[in-house]
Structure 1
Amino acid sequence: MRRLLRCVPGLPSALAVVALACVPAVMAAPSSADPGTEAEQESLYVDFEAAAKAYRDGVAQAAGGERRPGKRSAQRAMDRMFDLMERCRRTEGCEAERLVSRFDALLGARTRVAGEGDDEAEASPAEATAANQAEGSPVVEAFPNAADTLNQLNGRDLRELIVQNEAVRAAMAEWLTALRPQLINAHEQYQYLRFLMWPEYERAGLPEALLFAIMARESGGRVHAISPAGAAGLMQFMPATGRRFGLGWQDGYDTRFEPQLASRASTQYLNERFAELGHNLELALAAYNGGEGRVGRLARQNPGRSFWDPAVYNALPKETRDYVPYILSAAWLFLHPEDYGLEFPSVNGAATVLALKQPASINQLTICIGNGESRYGYFRALRNLNPRWLPETVLPAGTELRVPVVVRPLYDAGCVQGTRAERALALVNARKPDAGPAPREAVATGSRYTVRRGDTLSAIARRHGCSAQTVARVNGLRSPYALRPGQRLSLSGCRG
């Protein structure tokens, strides 16, 4: 019997997924602290202890057999603790480290939320291996297989809502021919990201197949995807729409690239559209692609008519008319791959936190780790799980990265010392010779900088001692700050 929730040494799996993503942000240096009285600080500490108790009570309730309500209570308590840690970080005089330490101790207590087959003796060899590999490090175990997860949308099975018409069948044919590699690669990357993204859809009451289908079509499973129009991230939010749902530039980083936050924002957007459009799946998806204003007007002008009605369908741009069948067919294939000879690769989606034992970049780690159990190696997974870091940035020893659990022993074996580690370092330090007489490295000249291929605004700002917002403001750039090679930027306000 599968485990719905299970803990390996370190963290309660389904409840700690947010911790890996959020605790580092809580510990970041305060950007704008508010003065707080001693009474306000003490109130935060007292409220945190109350939330911690509610978390323990929820875990105990689930362990006593009331799994679903216990899980909900524990999750609400955990969300409350995150809110309080963030408020403490922004309150002058409040000891954020005190709350984070308390939080770590709470999650490290080896508590378990009971589920089906929660007898430790029933652990599979793969589960036992993952636990052994993760000893001494927090681990989030992979969630159950998709076939066992929630497929309900507003009380109806998603499979009953997907219209099998010519447009959907034609889109399905494309997914199974020219787009099959994109679909399979997106599924593989989704498995590594699932522990961050799926809980947001589950809490919002939305089907997992819908999450996967949107991600597969929008970004192909690439966290850093940016469209020519400026949409960014796995779920491709435009800047203005992203800001409505809490996404955007914070401390020089575009949070549209955060898998968990993007997943949460997409649930909020979709449920907002469902409420506006009479819970019509196709119209909500059309709004996701073609704009809520346009689709909302069409729905009001054609009350009771479906997306497929000529009065609605023909009034939409071709991209949107194609987009909806692509999403519906990808969701159907996610639910019924075996019916079409589609075999998604089996991926161990468990994740762990790896503390670097010596400086390294994601590029360097990709080389020294090797392929392991993955056909193409772990570059994309490492990038997706650690979206704040550019792949060439050398991260100092002690930096904590989220990695697939299978990567940790590969790191210990090939990246810390030895021939492979030395070769990886030599390869990432190699530089292609320049074609012309230009300097080997494009550098800031005086107070200006020439953009190179692959540059991002945040990387340029970081190298020259200022914030991305400063460089953007000086140069009149607007989010998402798309740069082009050869573009000249003023570095006024930077240190060098």
Structure 2
Amino acid sequence: MRIRLVSAVAASLILAACAGAPARNAKNVPVPAADENEIGQLYARLDEAVKRYEGSAELADAGERERAAREGNAALDDLRAAALRCQQLPGCEKERFLSAFDGLLRRDAPIAAATGDPEKPAAEDADPEAAGEGSPVVSDLPEAARSITLLKGRPLAEIIAVNEPVKAGLEEWLTQYRPNLIQAYVNYQYMRQLMWPEYQKAGLPEALLFGFIAKESGGKVHAVSRSGASGPLQFMYATGLRFGLTTSNGFDQRFDPTLSARANAAYLNEQLRVFNNDLELVLAAYNGGEGRMGRLAGGGRARFWDASVYGALSPETREYVPMVLAAAWLFMHPERYNLEFPKIDTRLGNVTLPRTMSLAELSICFGQEGGSRDGWFRALRNLNPAYDHQAALPPGTRLTVPVVLEAAFPRACAQGPWQTLAAELHAASMPQVAIARTASTRSSSGGARGRYTVRKGDTLAAIARKHRCAEVREIASINRLRAPSYAIKPGQTLQIPSCGK
């Protein structure tokens, strides 16, 4: 006997995504022409997904429960992706997708047959708080974005087990790391529209993206770890290359918020397939390496919390996974923990420099404009990652800024006393005693230079520390490495200034 469909969670994702698009003002926003070719392809995908789902029901009747579950889930995933795309296209009939999912909801479910839980209540009877819908943070999001609190058809709140390690992580975030959590939230909010769409397109929960950012970098785009992991989501060089993060015109794309979020989402979806949608194992793989986790967990047959897996991990990975989960949980449920995230106007604007200026100067002349307690240095750097904050940017350079600064720019930074002060402070410099002494000793030895071959995990700062007579900017200048990333790669040979004797 067939078991009725209980995975209405997956269906509600489609319904919310299609029905929740905010209405546009027809008077102010021109309606683009419909792309009939792409719309036709979406309708064809809809028909094919429905047929595939119906075929999975027949497999369930024949007793092939696991195959039925795989086919049914794949059909639902494709239908959801097509519906999300339909939502974005003018002229696409969203009602077709609503009707298709309504029909599937009334059929018997191979997914439920595979999970063997006929008594589970339907999604519409479930507690909405459990799915993260009660969060004041999540409730501020558009309906389509709010629906992506699901991970592979399940509410993220169901997946995160608030066990003892996660509770310990919650305590850490709510005590000594509370300022870090708040600052990570503020930093993320200004980058949200650059990063969240990449997760949304990949069907991943925003809370998980925030968990990564809070733990990995605190929302600092130019963060670099001692091991060489870089960017807001801390990609190692080789892993970044694997997911399309290269060096373009001297800029390390690991520092780009949009590209790093896209790569992170691709990594997660790849590893979720490898580890049977076990989120904890995927997080552990992100931190400790997918090869090691694959060996320990047997490709997903064992759980992260199993003693044989958990006990074999490094202390760093054992701490990392619950901390990411705890940050994601707090993003969804701050009100449960006496936590209040600040309300921020995250709209972005642009300014065009009328004269040569640096991001450091802009940070000074903007001060605490708009009531920003910590000033604007971090937001300006995060939104313009390709520029060194000390570099003199030529007139005509167009920068992305929070909208409050767009309005304040003519008054605060384009001219006036704060702009003059910022330029004066920026022109000041510390005496370079050590550099001068090193230069003179090298000149007596003919300006000798050594060579160093970059190893995996090296950073330019670490290389400079190994060679006591070399400084980061000096090595960068000799080897023509461009700021701010000073990108290097394993196997690369660098010239290193040598000390005179």
Paired position in structure 1 for 2:489: 478
1:241-256 correspondence to structure 2 within 5 Å: 241-256=239-254
Q: 2:144 & 2:380 partners in 1: Cα distance?
A: 23
1:369 aligns with 2:378: no
| Partner-residue secondary structure (3-state), 1:354 | strand
In structure 2, the CA distance between the partners of 1:267 and 1:170, relative to structure 1 (3 Å rule), is same
Paired position in structure 2 for 1:279: 277
> What runs of 5+ residues in structure 2 fail to find an aligned partner?
1-19, 43-81, 93-139, 450-463
Tell me which of 204, 207, 216 is aligned to 1:206: 204
**One-letter amino acid of the counterpart of residue 405, structure 2:** V
In structure 2, the CA distance between the partners of 1:437 and 1:259, relative to structure 1 (3 Å rule), is closer
**One-letter amino acid of the counterpart of residue 54, structure 1:** D
Q: CA contact under 8 A between 1:361 and 1:392: conserved in structure 2?
A: yes
Q: CA contact under 8 A between 1:434 and 1:440: conserved in structure 2?
A: no
C-alpha deviation, 1:73, in angstroms: 4.1
C-alpha deviation, 1:347, in angstroms: 1.4
Paired position in structure 2 for 1:32: none
In structure 2, the CA distance between the partners of 1:192 and 1:448, relative to structure 1 (3 Å rule), is farther
Paired position in structure 2 for 1:195: 193
Identity of aligned residues (%): 43
- Residues 230-268 of structure 1: CA distance to partner in whole angstroms, max 9, x if unpaired? 110011111111110011222211110000000000011
Q: CA contact under 8 A between 1:192 and 1:404: conserved in structure 2?
A: yes
C-alpha deviation, 1:70, in angstroms: 3.9
- Residues 331-386 of structure 1: CA distance to partner in whole angstroms, max 9, x if unpaired? 00000111111111111111122211221100000111111131111110110111
Tell me which of 54, 57, 60 is aligned to 2:35: 54
Tell me which of 410, 420, 423 is aligned to 2:421: 423
- Residues 153-191 of structure 1: CA distance to partner in whole angstroms, max 9, x if unpaired? 011110111011110000110011111111110000000
RMSD across aligned C-alpha pairs, in angstroms?
4.1
1:96-495 correspondence to structure 2 within 5 Å: 144=142, 148=146, 150-300=148-298, 304-373=301-370, 374-434=372-432, 438=436, 455=473, 460=477, 466=480, 478=489, 488=497
Q: 2:253 & 2:264 partners in 1: Cα distance?
A: 13
In structure 2, the CA distance between the partners of 1:167 and 1:369, relative to structure 1 (3 Å rule), is same
Q: 2:241 & 2:397 partners in 1: Cα distance?
A: 29
Q: CA contact under 8 A between 1:251 and 1:467: conserved in structure 2?
A: no
Larger Rg: 2
**One-letter amino acid of the counterpart of residue 497, structure 2:** R
In structure 2, the CA distance between the partners of 1:288 and 1:259, relative to structure 1 (3 Å rule), is same
In structure 2, the CA distance between the partners of 1:457 and 1:409, relative to structure 1 (3 Å rule), is farther
Q: 1:328 & 1:279 partners in 2: Cα distance?
A: 15
Q: CA contact under 8 A between 2:384 and 2:399: conserved in structure 1?
A: yes
In structure 2, the CA distance between the partners of 1:428 and 1:376, relative to structure 1 (3 Å rule), is same
> What runs of 5+ residues in structure 1 fail to find an aligned partner?
16-50, 77-141, 491-496
- Residues 405-425 of structure 1: CA distance to partner in whole angstroms, max 9, x if unpaired? 111122111111111111111
Q: 2:347 & 2:301 partners in 1: Cα distance?
A: 45
Q: 1:256 & 1:350 partners in 2: Cα distance?
A: 24
- Residues 294-329 of structure 1: CA distance to partner in whole angstroms, max 9, x if unpaired? 00111217x632110101111111111111100111
- Residues 184-238 of structure 1: CA distance to partner in whole angstroms, max 9, x if unpaired? 1000000000001000000000000000000110111110111111110011111
In structure 2, the CA distance between the partners of 1:487 and 1:339, relative to structure 1 (3 Å rule), is farther
Aligned length: 368
| Partner-residue secondary structure (3-state), 2:349 | strand
C-alpha deviation, 1:447, in angstroms: 7.4
**One-letter amino acid of the counterpart of residue 214, structure 2:** A
In structure 2, the CA distance between the partners of 1:67 and 1:265, relative to structure 1 (3 Å rule), is closer
| Partner-residue secondary structure (3-state), 2:400 | strand
